[in-house]
Amino acid sequence: MAEKPLVSVVIPTYNRAGTIARAIESVMRQSHRPLEIIVVDDGSSDGTLRAIDCNAYPLPLTLISLSRNQGAAAARNHGIAMAQGVYVAFLDSDDEWHPDKITRQLRALATAGPAFGSCYTGIARLGEDGRLCGLSRAIAAGDLRLALFNHNLIGSASGLLVTRALLRAVGGFDRTLASCQDWDLCIRLADRTRFACVPEPLTLLHIAREGRISSNGHARLSGYLQLYRMHLRGPFKSGRVDTAVFRTNLGEIFMQLGRPDYAARQFAAIWRAKPWSVKRMTLLALAWSGIGAVHYFRAAAWLNRVEMRLRLSPIAAASTRVPLAPRGRRP
């Protein structure tokens, strides 16, 4: 039997003293071996590295401390440079993995064949109260170039597993982007490789309230506009790609920034393309009403919960089939 490949797990972190141990523990529980863990502290000021007890973990654990905050893209690139594994997986320091995530991804890649150098999983999102607030299954595989122009179907770098050779060939993450670095990376990877997927939500994201309604709206807007200029303008203008998801997200960013007038323009465009969509009509009405960001996101979250309940039962059932908190502990 062939020797199992070494997988390097890169965990970028910034001021996550309260969650970094949980992230590392979820890697320690992985059924795949061998693994190495590389934690890159991006200039934290809250003692994040002091919250890590290296002696408590049986796996190789490397700690890298950057002297100043450089952003998640730079932190991940430092991790890639240190990685020794055949594959590299990324885990944000406030996220978690199901114990079989890496095993299932490697199995999917082996089944798919040598043309597949990257794999992603479905994602479950939890709010601050621990309740499920979002669920997406990974269903697209193969050549994802056009699909990735439509939207970031990978969802998060925390669900991604890529060969180290490919990451180095594309130059890693783009540090010049204010946001959307994982989306940009996957677009560039798609030019060189095919993607395998594991449908179940083996990646668990913890979504804090301030992650949505915060000053980061300017960074999100900058990243989206940069990505449009770099990758999306041509496919959008040629009509090869539906712009609805991009416009919806752009409208959300404008709501976050307190510009419902700009948001209404985006929502109006997607509503005109599908005027029978209740969700699109509701988003447009919310923007026209001039409500603030807090009330908008509450209403949008309610719409998402309704949409989840109306989905086919196999999708909703995935959250119960995949136990993300072993030993009875609630995430």
DSSP annotation of 6: P
Share of the chain above pLDDT 90, in %: 66
Buried b (16+ CB within 10 A) or exposed e, 284-316: bebbeeebebeebbebbeeeeeeebeeeeeebe
CA of 3: how far to CAs of 15, 33, 61, 115, in Å?
Answer: 37, 10, 21, 20
For residue 240, what is the DSSP state? S
Backbone Cα Rg of the chain: 20
CB atoms within 10 A of CB 212: 18
pLDDT band per the 50, 70, 90 thresholds, residue 187 = very high
The confidence band for 2, taking pLDDT boundaries of 50, 70 and 90, is: low
| Nearest in space to 132 (alpha carbons), one of 327, 315, 256 | 315
Q: To the nearest whole number, what is the mean pLDDT of the chain? A: 87
pLDDT surpassing 70 at residue 312: no
User: Which whole number is the average pLDDT over 162-191?
Assistant: 96
pLDDT at 321: 40
pLDDT tens for 154-174 read 999 999 999 999 999 999 999
pLDDT in tens, 45-56: 998 988 898 878
- Asked if pLDDT for residue 331 goes beyond 80, the answer is no
- Judged by DSSP in three states, 158 sits in helix
Q: Is the pLDDT of residue 62 over 60?
A: yes
pLDDT digits (tens, 9 = 90+) for 261-271: 999 999 999 99
Condensed to tens digits (0 to 9), the pLDDT of residues 216-261 reads: 789 999 999 999 999 999 999 999 999 999 999 999 999 889 899 9
Residue 303 main-chain phi, psi, to 5 deg: -60, -40
Contacts of 59 (CB under 8 A, 6+ apart): 27, 28, 35, 36, 37
* Helices within the chain (DSSP H only): 20-28, 72-82, 101-112, 145-150, 164-170, 181-190, 217-227, 233-238, 244-256, 260-273, 278-289, 293-310, 313-321
Q: What is the DSSP string of 187-218?
A: HHHHTT-EEEEEEEEEEEEE--GGGTSSTTHH
Confidence of residue 59 (pLDDT cuts 50, 70, 90): confident
Euclidean distance between CA atoms 4 and 35, whole angstroms:
10
pLDDT at 116: 98
**Distance between CA 230 and CA 220 in Å, rounded?**
15
Three-class DSSP category at 64: strand
Q: Are 79 and 173 spatial neighbours (Cβ–Cβ below 8 Å)?
A: no
Domains of the chain with CATH codes: 7-210 (3.90.550.10), 242-310 (no CATH)
pTM of the model: 0.86
Q: Give 107-142 pLDDT, tens digit per residue.
A: 999 999 999 999 999 999 988 787 887 888 999 999
